[in-house]
Structure 1
């Protein structure tokens, strides 16, 4: 993890109100500097197809996207990934485990925006270093045999990582964005749209229908030039329930009502439940209860529930950014610890084998 593409110096300017700019390397340059081998490219393609098969009901396994709320320390992230890779092999007959590698974080006002923005955690916003580090870290996770997932927040950053990803989330704050719907329509992997922060699914179902259609939109090509992007439409989208201001929406009553809405709109009923956020009342230790409730719904025959998402790190809880950080503890939302995560997923695999 030593290669690095450099940026050009800050531009000069004369106006007091003019923003400083610094030219980034193009996504093509970064991909050439940190390339994906043919074997890893084939692995990513196979993982994408496996997830599609789950969405289509051709693969009966449970899809589980699991990992830190956000990655701030590559060492602890890789230690976590190593543990997850070993567990993924153990439970592969009943579950497809996908590494959550979130390097961008949405902010309601201000705050740390993620590894891709501020890899030194000090407000220096070395985005060139962040892009290098994030891409190299994802490659290391792929080398462990794991599918990699992230939330795509800044569309301009997407092309730096798109060849590495097997699954993508569009967050509750951006699901309503036309720009993100256009972006999703051109992605080559399955995309999960989260319900809005109010807990309603209308915004997400609109997004799924939009992303399924071809678009022509403004964008940036692989060499960094402004371009007209033409997309073919993405048929591999699904809904992610994360609760909302009015409370959780993972229970049997909510799921049944949401399935009716999807059927009425002629949208395939394929639903993932995010066990964190409002579904757990923002208490990371309540995630197993949410997970097990959804698992029981699935064991009782609801095949529309194709998967779950867990926020999990080496150790439970969270911590504020500061000069001294505890190893393996989230600096954003609180997480379930690894031991509890491992126990939960092993128990789930046993239940699934016994059905």
Structure 2
């Protein structure tokens, strides 16, 4: 791998071991352009999410897929299955696929396919960018919109023309850097409550991101620049539970809606069926899913969406020293429900909503 010469000095780079050249956004997009079919999917997915969040579309926005992509071939197989299922339920559900490639860590650990695509510690980010963009375009070409998490400050310039929906996670929703970045994103943005469970943090993040900002980034040619934004008008709260337990029950949904109204926002709430809402037990995601659907059927119109962590096979596995021992289709981060349960839950939700038209 090519490295830049390490600048020397007595006061800088004391803990740096090297610099590696990075492909520019323009170079990557030239090599892997967004195809017309993929572009149509992105635009339609964004428009559908916007219409749902603003009450112009009474369908439910469903963001479903692996906790994190670690095998690009298996992710493509999952996408093909989900695209077929999306077509079966699209009159009541707007299904978009989680293509999460950049993982926040509480301390240390594998940081995702964008950073370390080979899971070897080599951190070949050029390969991570290329493979991620290839996958996102492939998913979009199936007619399946891509959903992802905004984490790395430079990733949007490389990837977000292929993204229909994005979010800030529990660890970044309070970060000023990420809030101002979210103000520039062209797609609707979800904001999770913090790990402590407080809902106002997420609402404050939506308000912050809805306003104009300026921040440092790079342009398509990789030049450092200041970007000026006009704000993102499509923010919404994602309830994911907290240290005190789940927060998907009716009082929490109502609290989130009231906090949004008080802040001058249109109430729009998504529930994450995983994380603290399921006690990090993937077998409990279905309980959360059915409870939230029940609230929606009972008339809670602030509920606009659901998130499900799902993979080809259920559960999770550690990353082995010998990568040939990885079980195909099993998550290496949070435990996921398997494909069979995923399909059953989406078909159940579709049938329930079909029987109770708005």
TM-score interval w.r.t. the shorter chain?
over 0.9
* Aligned with residue 261 of structure 1, among 253, 259, 262: 259
> How big is each residue's C-alpha offset from its partner over 1:258-297, in whole Å with a ceiling of 9 and x where there is no partner?
2222222222110000000000000011001001100000
Q: Which residue of structure 2 aligns with residue 346 of structure 1? A: 347
Per-residue CA distance 1:303-330 (angstroms, 9 max, x = gap): 1100000000000000000111000000
Partner residue of 1:84?
A: 82
The total of aligned residue pairs comes to: 349
SS in 2 for 1:160: helix
- TM norm structure 1: 0.96
SS of residue matched to 2:161: coil
In the other structure, the counterpart of 1:303 is 301
Match of 1:4? none
More deviation in 31-40 or 158-167? 31-40
TM-score (norm 2): 0.95
8 A Cα contact 1:11 1:22, kept in partner: no
Counting only pairs closer than 5 Å after superposition, residues 203-218 of structure 1 correspond to structure 2 as: 203-218=201-216
Please state whether the residue corresponding to 1:163 is helix, strand or coil.
helix
Residues in 2 aligned to 1:124 and 1:354: alpha-carbon distance in whole angstroms: 52
In structure 1, stretches of 5+ residues that fail to align are 1-6
CA contact (8 A) 1:8 1:24 kept: no
Aligned partner of residue 28 in structure 1, secondary structure: helix
> Pick from 52, 60, 63: which aligns with 1:62?
60
Contact 2:70-2:112 at 8 Å conserved across structures: yes
Q: Deviations over 1:92-146 (max 9, x none)?
A: 1100110000000001111000001111111111111111111101111111110
Distance 1:18 1:66 in 2: 40
Work out the CA distance in 2 between the residues paired with 1:297 and 1:18: 52
Partners of 2:272 and 2:5 lie apart in 1 by 42
Distance 1:156 1:248 in 2: 33
Q: Partner residue of 1:106? A: 104
Q: 1:154 aligns with which of 131, 152, 160?
A: 152
- Please report the RMSD computed on the Cα atoms of aligned residues, expressed in angstroms: 1.2
Cα pair distance change 1:101/1:10, threshold 3 Å? same
The answer to whether the 8 A contact 2:149-2:166 is kept is: yes
Equivalent in the alignment of 2:337? 336
Q: CA deviation at 1:40?
A: 2.0
CA displacement at 1:212 relative to structure 2: 0.6
SS of 1:159 mapped into structure 2: helix
- Between the aligned partners of 1:258 and 1:166, the Cα distance in structure 2 is 24
Distance 1:62 1:18 in 2: 48
Task: Please state how far the C-alpha of 1:8 moved relative to its aligned partner.
Answer: 5.0
Work out the CA distance in 2 between the residues paired with 1:253 and 1:204.
17
Rounded to whole Å, the distance in 1 between the matches of 2:110 and 2:192 is 22
Q: Which residue of 1 aligns with 2:327?
A: 326
State how far apart, in whole Å, the 1-side matches of 2:327 and 2:37 are.
36
Q: Deviations over 1:226-252 (max 9, x none)?
A: 111010111011000000001011001
Q: Retained in 1: the 8 A contact 2:96–2:144?
A: yes
Q: What residue number does 1:278 align with?
A: 276
